Chain A
């Protein structure tokens, strides 16, 4: 298939269609409106259904209901809208249903602004809703990777019967890049038949019930431990990360995800020209976080620099990974302000010159 020039939002929509998703429920919010717009245009062409819900709360309950049928179900929103969806997402995780949720992050808290941000890292990776549950969280750094990860997200959701979130900043949603969809895509996980789906049994098999209510504490504890076992499997089998410039010696290791990592890679090209040894470690899965891989990469550096469009959220996972073994520095912008490659280079050089490491309380 010839390459298309697509906005991230359009590529995410087409990726869902290519993954066999025929059901979208959502509510508009900037900067991800092009996803529902694309789905509204595209789903009728493939025999699917697009529903604009009356709110994100309703949308999250619509995907909950639809996922119970075993169909591939999708919603997207941006930060404030994702907050509203947390109730539904918790119920979906509790009921062990596969859905894909895309969050194109804008600056918060509250209504915040409409420009790019990465300040929903905690919400995505530590559970925005209540209860012991986890989302598998994938973070693309390009439009092509967004398209690929959304398709993988449907396979992972089905395999684990758990919600999967694709977490992009506003720039991923709005920027355009060439995108290719493979004609014959192989699912990234084996996909057994959905014998659990509530499709109507006609008396031929025991009734399938979709439920997150367990009043007997012993039963609920067993359920919690069953979910925990799934998250342990994700931690064992689904970690994804990559690095840039680690093939040469480096003094400073940058840790960044999403488009911020793209900015950092540009800075690294500049630094290499200047003979400065620095490299980038990029988590692709934010849950499970690549703790061991990061620790190994950081051991070759004298210091680590975390770069985020937030006041510092992923940095807490970096601290867990390094367990005090390396000084950790932080560079962040907020409010929709972006980080330039020059700002990254400047901070790397400051770290090399002996800048004291970030002191964090709490």
Chain B
């Protein structure tokens, strides 16, 4: 499949009106979607987060419901007891947002080709001129450890989503054991993968401490600095748990 636009037209892919995030489960889609949403909202924009994850029961954007509401970000996700269901529920608002927009829209899609199938059911509503369909890659994860495996995963996701991927976000990390080298090794592999896919490398994501260590380095793409929001209930210092968004299951 060909990319939707040429690289020159897409220098700021993350700022597209609609950004769809796909990838292997656990690659960091929800984390990046939440960080982008909070960032855009801090800039005064009208932001919607669409939780299209119908395959993974835990650690989904919908579990940040209170956090998002507190920031004035619209969350589109099943409510009530259906919020906890592992059922293929796709709300009508998803199609509406894809067709008509309404401020900035971030779509967090379920992991792997099986998760992308939910996107495939609404892909006819995607306005390709206003949309970026980005794959998040963490080469520390199983099943996407090499360029070949990542390309294979992306092609399978594209088939399931019925939508070509338009860019790569490099997000290789090992959580608390991440070093700048881990990020840089992953970035090099992500760049090769982007080359094989013939799409641009849109951004390199890194959490605060690692991002600061990388600040002086020449990178082939912009650095997306993340604050880790998705955590199990025992992580983080007391201070972080009190002032930061502790994003857990309940």
Seen from chain A, the residues whose Cβ lies within 8 Å of a Cβ on chain B are 2-7, 10, 14, 30-31, 34, 38, 41, 113-116, 170-171, 174-178, 259, 262-263, 265-266, 269-270, 273, 336-342
Residue B59, interface by CB 8 Å? yes
Q: Which of B68-76, B156-164, B230-238 contacts A (4 or more CB under 8 A)?
A: B230-238
Query: Roughly how many angstroms separate A177 CA and B56 CA in the complex, as a whole number?
Result: 17
Cβ of B248 and Cβ of A338 under 8 Å apart?
A: yes
State whether B141 touches A4 (Cβ < 8 A): yes
B235 near A266 (CB under 8 angstroms)? yes
Contact status B232-A5, CB under 8 Å: no
List the A side residues contacting B249 at CB < 8 Å. 115-116, 171, 336, 338
Contact with A along B131-148 (1 / 0, CB 8 A): 000000010111101000
Contact of A115 among B56, B84, B235 (CB under 8 A): B84
Once the chains bind, are B241 and A3 in contact (CB under 8 Å)? no
Question: Whole-angstrom distance from the CB of A223 to the nearest CB of chain B?
Answer: 42
Chain B 1-41 against A: per-residue CB contact (8 Å), 1 yes, 0 no? 00000000000000000000000011000000000000000
CB within 8 A of B234: which of A116, A263, A273?
A263
User: CA separation between A341 and B162, bound complex, in Å?
Assistant: 44
Closest B residue to A113 by beta carbon equals: B84
Question: Beyond A30-B57, A114-B86, is A4–B234 a contact (Cβ under 8 Å)?
Answer: no
Tell me whether B233 and A341 are in contact (CB under 8 A): yes
Decide if A114 touches B175 in the complex (CB within 8 Å).
no
CA of A159 to CA of B175 in the docked complex: distance in angstroms?
Answer: 36
Lowest 4 A-B CB distances belong to which pairs?
A: A262-B234, A174-B58, A5-B140, A266-B234
Q: Is B173 an interface residue (CB 8 A)?
A: yes
A200 and B166 CA atoms in complex are apart in Å by 57
Q: Complex formed: what's the CA distance from A41 to B174 in Å?
A: 23
Is the pair A114, B142 in contact by a Cβ cutoff of 8 Å? no
Q: What is the CA–CA distance of A116 and B234 in the complex, to the nearest angstrom? A: 14
- Interface: B250 (CB within 8 A): yes
Cα A170 to Cα B250 in complex, Å, equals: 13
Cβ–Cβ < 8 Å partners of A30 in chain B: 57, 86
**Chain A residues whose C-beta falls within 8 Å of the C-beta of B86 in the assembled complex:** 30, 114
**Cα distance A3–B174 when bound, in Å?**
8
Majority secondary structure, B binding face: loop
A residues less than 8 Å from B25 (CB atoms): 7, 34
Q: Are A10 and B58 in contact (CB under 8 A)?
A: no
User: Is there contact, CB below 8 Å, between B58 and A115?
Assistant: yes
- B55-69 vs A, Cβ < 8 Å mask (1 yes, 0 no): 011110000000000
Contacting pair B241 A4 (CB below 8 A): no
Question: Could you pull out 11 A-B pairs where Cβ atoms are within 8 angstroms?
Answer: A3-B177, A5-B175, A31-B58, A115-B249, A177-B175, A178-B140, A259-B232, A259-B234, A265-B234, A338-B249, A341-B234
Chain A residue nearest in CB terms to B248? A338
**Given A6-B141, A31-B58, A273–B175 Cβ distance below 8 Å?**
no
User: Contacts of A339 on B, CB cut-off 8 Å?
Assistant: 233
Q: Tell me the smallest distance from the CB of B133 to a CB of chain A, in Å.
A: 24
Residues of B within 8 A of A113 (CB): 84
Known: A115-B249, A337-B250. A174 touches B234 (CB 8 A): no
Q: Mark B35-57, 1 if CB is under 8 A from A, else 0.
A: 00000000000000000000011
Known: A31-B58, A270-B238, A273-B238. A176 touches B26 (CB 8 A): yes
**Which residue from B59, B173, B241 sits with its C-beta under 8 Å from A5?**
B173
> CA separation between A2 and B145, bound complex, in Å?
11
- In the complex the two chains form, what is the Cα distance from A339 to B233 in whole Å? 8
Which residue on chain A has the smallest CB distance to residue B55?
Answer: A33
Given contacts A175-B59, A263-B233, A338-B233, 13 further A-B contacts (CB under 8 A): A3-B174, A5-B173, A5-B174, A14-B142, A34-B25, A114-B85, A171-B58, A171-B249, A174-B56, A177-B175, A266-B234, A270-B238, A338-B249
Report the minimal beta-carbon distance from A345 to chain B, rounded to whole angstroms. 9
Report Cα–Cα, A41/B156, bound state, in Å.
15
- Whole-angstrom distance from the CB of A175 to the nearest CB of chain B? 5
Quick check: B142 and A10 within 8 Å, CB to CB?
yes
Find chain B residues with CB under 8 A from A266 CB.
234-235
What 0/1 readout, one digit per residue, does chain B (224-250) give for beta carbons within 8 Å of chain A? Answer: 000000001111001001000000111
Least CB distance from A244 to B in Å reads 12
Q: A263-B233, A337-B250, A340-B233 are in contact. Are A178 and B175 (CB under 8 A)?
A: yes
Nearest CB in chain A: distance from B210 CB, A: 14
